[in-house]
Amino acid sequence: MALPINIKELVHGKVVEWERLEFKAGWNPEDILHSICAFANDFNNWGGGYIFIGIAEHNGKPILPPKGLAEEQADAIQKKIRELSRKIDPFYFPVVQPELIDGQLVLIIWVPSGDRRPYSASVSLSKKKSERAFYIRENSSSVAAREHKLTELLRQSSHLPFDECVNPVATLADLDLGLIRQHLQKTGSRLFEESTTMSFPDLCRNFKIASGPVENLRPLNLALLLFSEKPDIWFPGTQIELVIHNPLKLKEYEEYFFKGPVQIQLSTALNVIKEKVIRQKVIKIDGQAESVKIFDFPFEAIEEALANAIFHKDYSLHKPVEVQVWPDKEITILSFPGPVPPINNRDLQKKRIIARDYRNRRLGDFLKELHLTEGRATGVPLIHQSLKANGSPDAILFTDEQRTVFLVTIYVHKSFENEPMVMPVHEPFLATWEDLIGYFNQIIEQVNSKSGAQESAQVNAQVSAQVSAQVNARVSSILIANGINVEKTLKILESVELLPLPRETILSRLGLSKHYKNYMNYISPLIEKGLVAYTSPALLTSRNQHYKITLQGLILLKILEQGIK
């Protein structure tokens, strides 16, 4: 089974922290046993770790290219790892995967955080009755937990982060295969290719987004946040609310609501902020040859602050993340609740905050894999660093005594204070379904103004000329936020592009039965949105009813096709 992560980025420490990676030139069973135990205990709540066998290290970093292992060595080591697992109590078996890295065979041991921690392991393999210890990670080493750290490990083990809890109400049918495969493809995981040949339950289990016995396998809360089309069904208030105030007219503002999978909420909201809020100036400094580029708000600071809000909020409270923008003054990002104890308001005034407990331990990993955040313990420093580099005032981080709120305030650069906003328009602004329909109507007007060529050819020409990869990504985000499956929508529109078809034929081309539920899930939403229409609207229940593509549907089809070329 392929690991659900990009191996090339993993070995270079780009998608997880270096403390979660361990490199071994060869087989050292005792050290590896202790490391497996330590990663499974996950004392720092970082989501476990990875051990590379066949790669030497220097000061905790890999020496590349690796020397690798012979094939017979790799086979023997995999068998021995099974034997080592019996030395861990409770029983724990990691995921072991051979990989070619720079042409050399390397064994990767993926050790996710265990759900039965704390784990103990034999201190020595040379003695028949060795004493046992609870191992944890300290920096880049695996050590036995002693005194207060052992007490803390035992305390932590009674608490499972919210995102790793099994949702007792939802089922695997509530997860969207397209969203899962989209994530695997974006992150460059080889599991993307394997997902076409394995069952959906096996995919969810191997991806570690579902848990439970075979007869009652259920999704984790993490899976519903990332891979369900409407996570607010289970967690009301799972949305980002953005308000952009008009600095010239106090009672005027633009309001946006971003719903759907949280990673799409985040990327779409950031795109809106980048297009509607971020401005820049080029300033010539006396005595300096190069000009200086400054921004009203450095985007990196906003990106990290908003990503941290998504990562750290408590989704059981049913409250949105609120972003307020006063373009000539400040941006505030409010989330609920405040930081996890013992961090308090005094700690927030420091330039670096180290937290051990996380409400959503694995969610941060997924956001980092998508390059939507830098990683744990880096958010606050990055906010301050990007503001300092831009010459902006320091940000203010605040929580109340009860830790009920977390408020980040980012102030505008002094060069933009009390200055009216003039927003350059380079591409169509797309954030809501209404924006998308308006964009479709613009293309329709352009098509209707021309004559001679076929309608389909005109639409294709307009889309080819106007649609960039960024526009395509926004269109896909809007579809998902409105509960529309992108992959299946593309297939439906392709099916009815040239000829109207009956319901059974359309569903058959999707690989689905003619069950009414499938019609309601995939065809009905397209009719409601005006992308597909009845051929006989006056006879909705007719056995001869067929479905045809509309002009809006044709435009969407060409946009989606443009995105996969």
User: If you write DSSP's letter for every residue of 369-399 in order, what string do you get?
Assistant: HTTSS--TT-HHHHHHHHHHHHTPPPPEEE-
Determine the CATH number of domain 7-156.
3.30.950
pTM: 0.64
- What pLDDT does 422 receive? 46
- The burial class, CB within 10 Å (0-12 / 13-18 / 19+), for 216 is exposed
The residues near 56 (Cβ < 8 Å, ≥ 6 apart) are 23, 24, 25, 62, 63, 66, 67
| Contact assessment for residue 75 and residue 89, using Cβ atoms and an 8 Å cutoff | no
- Beta strands, E only, 362-494: 396-398, 406-411
- What pLDDT does 355 receive? 65
- Enter the DSSP assignment of 501: B
- What pLDDT does 266 receive? 92
- What pLDDT does 425 receive? 40
Q: How far is the C-alpha of 15 from the C-alpha of 20, rounded, in Å?
A: 10
Q: How far is the C-alpha of 540 from the C-alpha of 523, rounded, in Å?
A: 14
Q: Tokens 């001679």 label which residue?
A: 452
Tens digit of each residue's pLDDT (9 = 90 or more) over 183-241: 998 888 888 888 888 899 999 998 999 988 777 889 999 999 999 988 999 999 999 99
| Contact assessment for residue 241 and residue 319, using Cβ atoms and an 8 Å cutoff | no
Enumerate the domain spans of the chain: 7-156, 164-229, 240-416, 433-563
CA 160 to mean position of chain CA atoms: 20
- What pLDDT does 465 receive? 59
- Beta strands, E only, 252-358: 253-258, 280-283, 292-295, 321-326, 330-335
The CATH architecture to which 240-416 belongs is: 2-Layer Sandwich (3.30)
Listing DSSP states for 159-220 in one string gives ---GGGSBPSS--GGGS-HHHHHHHHHHTT-THHHHTTTS-HHHHHHHTTSEES-GGG-EEB
Q: Which two tokens stand for residue 562?
A: 């443009």
Q: Which two tokens stand for residue 293?
A: 């580029």
76-99: b (≥16 Cβ within 10 Å) or e: ebeeebeebbebbeeebebbbbbb
Beta bridge partners of 256: 242
The residues near 483 (Cβ < 8 Å, ≥ 6 apart) are 229, 230, 260, 525
| Contact assessment for residue 353 and residue 380, using Cβ atoms and an 8 Å cutoff | yes
Residue 406 has φ and ψ, to the nearest 5°, of -135, 115
Going 29 to 34 to 40 to 46, the CA torsion angle's sign is negative
Which portions of the chain are predicted below pLDDT 50?
422-426, 451-453
| Contact assessment for residue 532 and residue 523, using Cβ atoms and an 8 Å cutoff | yes
- Enter the DSSP assignment of 407: E
Beta bridge partners of 215: none
Nearest to 492 by CA among 457, 464, 527, 468: 527
Q: Tokens 């109507």 label which residue?
A: 441
Residue 136 has φ and ψ, to the nearest 5°, of -135, 170
- What pLDDT does 462 receive? 66
Question: Residue 332, CB half-sphere, CA atoms under 13 Å: how many?
Answer: 12
Question: Residue 378, CB half-sphere, CA atoms under 13 Å: how many?
Answer: 15
Q: How far is the C-alpha of 93 from the C-alpha of 125, rounded, in Å?
A: 18
Q: Which two tokens stand for residue 9?
A: 């980025």
Dmax of the chain from CA atoms? 88
Q: How far is the C-alpha of 131 from the C-alpha of 151, rounded, in Å?
A: 19
Order the strands of the 132-133 sheet from edge to edge.
Answer: 88-89, 120-122, 132-133
Domains 7-156 and 240-416 fall in the same CATH topology: no
Q: Tokens 């330039």 label which residue?
A: 351
- What pLDDT does 182 receive? 85
Assign 6 to helix, strand or coil. coil
Q: Which two tokens stand for residue 413?
A: 């650069």
Name the amino acid, one letter, at 317. Answer: L
Q: Which CATH class is domain 433-563?
A: mainly alpha
